[in-house]
Structure 1
Amino acid sequence: MTITQFQVFVKIAETGSFTKAGLELNMTQPAVSHAISSLEADLGIHLMIRDRKNGIALTHIGKRVLIQMREILQRVENIEQEIAAEKGLEVGTVRIGAFPTAAAHFLPKIMSTFKQKYPNLQLVLHEGTIAEVKEWLSTRFIDVGLVIFPDADMEIVPLFRDKMVAVLPETHPLGGRDFLTISDLSGEPMILCRGGYEAPIIDLFQKSGAELQLAFAASNVATVLNMIREGLGLAILSRLSLSALPPGLVTLDLEPRVCRDISVAVPSLKEASLAVHLFIQMARELFPRE
C-alpha cells in the first residue's frame, strides 16, 4: 500500500469518477485504474463497485476504510506542515464546512484575513446543512466545521452566542409587546425552520409547559419569513439569520433570553494540523466571544 494509492481512492470516492480523480491528481485514467487495482489486490478485498449504469459505489468495507485513509493522509499533511513551519513557511490546506448562516456571517472575514496573513495556505469551503457538516466531520471529509450543538465525538471551541428572537407580523396582537415568553406563544401556529432549529425550539416549549402548535416546517429562512408575512404562523429564528427582515414583520426578544451557541468543531484538537490551529486562532481573534 502506498500514499498515492490512498490519495487516488479518496479522490475517486469524493468525485465519483476515475476520470475526474485523474484530472484533479494530474494522473492518466490507466494510472488511476492501476492504483486502485493494486490497492485492492494488496488488501484482498473490493473497495468499490464499478457499474456503467449507476457509476461508482463504495462497498461496506470501502466506506469504513475511507475514513481511515483520510486520517492517514491528514497525518501525512500534518508532518509536511510541521516541516514547512520549521523552515519558516506555512503550507497546507484547511477544508472548512459550515451551514449557510454561519458561512455568510463568519467565513468571508475569516478567509480574507487568513489569506492575507498566510498566503501559502489553501482554504476550501464546503457549505451544507448542520447535519451535513457533522457528517463531513465524522467522515473526515472536512478538517474543521462550524456547528451549533455540542457533539460528544468532536472537540468544540466556542465562537459566538447567537440570540433567538420571535418573528411575527407587526399587526399581530402580540406585536406591540416589549418581549415575549414561550408561554405567550403557547397554542400559536408556529413555523419551524429545519436544519438545526427544530430540537431546541421543541425543547423550549416542553420545558415551559407550553403547547407547540406546529403549523408548517420549511428549510429556508426566506421561505419562513414570507410565510409569516402571509399570516401562516409565527417563528423563532436566530438573530444572525435575519440580516434582511421583510416589511411588515417585527422581532421581539424572548424572556428569559434564548440563545444558540455556534462553535468551531474538529475531530481532535490534538491531532489537528498546524493550519487548522491557525484557522481556529484567526476565528477567535476576529470574533471574540462575548
Structure 2
Amino acid sequence: MNRGLMQLFVKISDTKNFTKAGKELYMTQPAVSRAVAALEAELGVKLIARDRRCGVYFTDIGERILGLFKEILTYFERIDQEVAREKGRDTGIVRIGVFPSASSFFIPKIISSVAENYPKIEFILHEGTIDEIKERLTSREVDVGLIVPSGRDELITFPLYREEIYTVLNENHALAAKSVIQAGDLMDQPLIICKYDYKPPVRDWFKHSGIQPQFKYVLNNYMTTLNMVQEGLGIGLMSELSTINLPNKVIIRKLDPKWYREIHLAVSSLTDSSIASQVFIRTALHLFESRSNLENSLVKKLGHQIVPRDDFRHI
C-alpha cells in the first residue's frame, strides 16, 4: 500500500471508471485492475464492485478506506509543501469548492493575487451547489470552499462577504414603480426562488415580516431565474452577486427591511490545511475583509497566526 495506490483509488472514485482513472495516471486498464485486486487480496475485503447499470462503485468498507486514503494524501501534500517551502519554493495544489454566483466574482481575483506571489501554486475548481460543497469539504474532496453557513455546519468558517438580497423584476411590472419592496407587496405575485442558493435567507426575510410566501417556481440555476423574470413569468428574490449582469428589461429593487446573505470561506480543519490552502485563505480574507477583521477572525479561531506573517509577502 503506497501513495500511488492511494491516488489511484481516489482517481477511480472521481472518474467512476478504471480506464479513465488509469489514463490520467498513465496506467493501462489491466494494470489498474491488477492493483485493485492486489490490495483487496492483501486486506481480505472487497473494496470496489462493478454493476452494468451503475458502473464502478465502492463497497461500504471501500468508502471508509477511500476516506482514509484522502486524509492520508492531504498529509503527503503537506509534507511536499513543507519541503518545498524549506527550499524556498512555495508550491502546492488547492482544491476549491465554489457555487456559480460566487465563482466569477471571487475566484479570478483571489487566484490572480496568489499567482502574483506564488506562481507555482496550482488550483482545481469544483463548482456545485452550496450543499454539495459542504459535502466535499467534509469528505476532503476540496480543501477550501465558499459557502453560505447554517447553524448545522461542522466546518471552520471565516466571514468573507456580506451581500444584499434584492427583488428582481421585469421593468414593465407594476411594482417597478416602487423604490423598495415589502413582503406584503409580493403576496399575490408569482415568486421565483433558487432552491440551493437563496431560499434560506429569503425565507427568513418573509418570516421576519410575518408572511408565509408561496413560490411558483423553485429552480436550481440563478441564470434561469433571471431569464424567467425577463420573460415576465414572475418575480425573483436574489443576491447582489447574481444581479451584477442583468438581462435586458430586468431591474432590481431593494427590500424593506433590508436583508443580507453571508458568504464564508470554509475548511474542514484549519490546523490540517496545507500551506497552499492557508495562502489562499489569507489572500481571500485580505482582498475582501478589512485587515483588522482578517487578524481577528484568524486569531479568534486558532489562538495564533496559522502561518508567520513573513510567509505572506503580499500582506
Q: TM-score range by the shorter chain?
A: over 0.9
In structure 1, distance between residues paired with 2:7 and 2:250: 51
The alpha carbon displacement at 1:165 in A equals: 0.5
Asked whether the equivalents of residues 98 and 130 of structure 1 are also in contact (C-alpha less than 8 Å), the reply is yes
Q: Which residue of 1 is the match for residue 48 of structure 2?
A: 48
**Greater mean alpha carbon deviation, residues 169-178 or residues 155-164:** 169-178
In structure 2, distance between residues paired with 1:9 and 1:168: 48
Q: Which amino acid aligns with 1:126?
A: H
2:128 equivalent to 1:128: yes
Query: What do residues 153-196 of structure 1 show as CA deviations (whole Å, max 9, x unaligned)?
Result: 21101111111111123333322222222233233321112222
Inter-CA distance 225–4: structure 2 relative to 1 (3 Å threshold): closer
Equivalences for 1:69-88 in 2 at 5 Å? Answer: 69-88=69-88
**Greater mean alpha carbon deviation, residues 44-53 or residues 98-107:** 44-53
In structure 2, distance between residues paired with 1:22 and 1:5: 11
Secondary structure of the residue aligned to 1:10 is helix
Equivalences for 1:45-194 in 2 at 5 Å? Answer: 45-51=45-51, 54-150=54-150, 152-194=153-195
Secondary structure of the residue aligned to 1:244 is coil
In structure 1, distance between residues paired with 2:88 and 2:100: 35
The alpha carbon displacement at 1:250 in A equals: 2.2
Query: What do residues 105-146 of structure 1 show as CA deviations (whole Å, max 9, x unaligned)?
Result: 111121122223212111111112222212211221111111
Inter-CA distance 176–16: structure 2 relative to 1 (3 Å threshold): same
Inter-CA distance 120–256: structure 2 relative to 1 (3 Å threshold): same
Q: Which amino acid aligns with 2:242?
A: S
Q: Which amino acid aligns with 2:93?
A: T
Q: Which residue of 1 is the match for residue 311 of structure 2?
A: none
**Greater mean alpha carbon deviation, residues 17-26 or residues 48-57:** 48-57
Inter-CA distance 166–48: structure 2 relative to 1 (3 Å threshold): same
Secondary structure of the residue aligned to 1:141 is coil
Q: Which residue of 1 is the match for residue 27 of structure 2?
A: 27
Q: Which amino acid aligns with 1:277?
A: Q
Q: Which residue of 2 is the match for residue 262 of structure 1?
A: 263
Query: What do residues 177-216 of structure 1 show as CA deviations (whole Å, max 9, x unaligned)?
Result: 2222223323332111222212222232223211312221
The alpha carbon displacement at 1:104 in A equals: 0.8
The alpha carbon displacement at 1:53 in A equals: 5.8
The alpha carbon displacement at 1:282 in A equals: 1.3
The alpha carbon displacement at 1:54 in A equals: 4.2
Secondary structure of the residue aligned to 2:64 is helix
Query: What do residues 56-87 of structure 1 show as CA deviations (whole Å, max 9, x unaligned)?
Result: 11112212222221011001111221122122
Identity in percent: 44
Q: Which amino acid aligns with 1:3?
A: R
Asked whether the equivalents of residues 187 and 212 of structure 1 are also in contact (C-alpha less than 8 Å), the reply is no
Secondary structure of the residue aligned to 1:174 is helix
2:213 equivalent to 1:209: no
Gaps of 5+ in 1: none
Q: Which runs of 4+ in 1 moved over 3 A?
A: 28-31, 51-54
2:224 equivalent to 1:220: no
Q: TM-score, normalised by structure 1?
A: 0.92
2:273 equivalent to 1:279: no
Q: Which amino acid aligns with 1:24?
A: E
Task: Calculate the aligned-residue CA RMSD, in Å.
Answer: 1.9
Q: Which amino acid aligns with 1:118?
A: Y
Q: Which residue of 2 is the match for residue 14 of structure 1?
A: 14
Secondary structure of the residue aligned to 2:146 is strand
In structure 1, distance between residues paired with 2:249 and 2:119: 45
Query: What do residues 235-289 of structure 1 show as CA deviations (whole Å, max 9, x unaligned)?
Result: 2101111122223332111122211111111101111111100011111122225
Gaps of 5+ in 2: 294-315
In structure 1, distance between residues paired with 2:103 and 2:271: 25
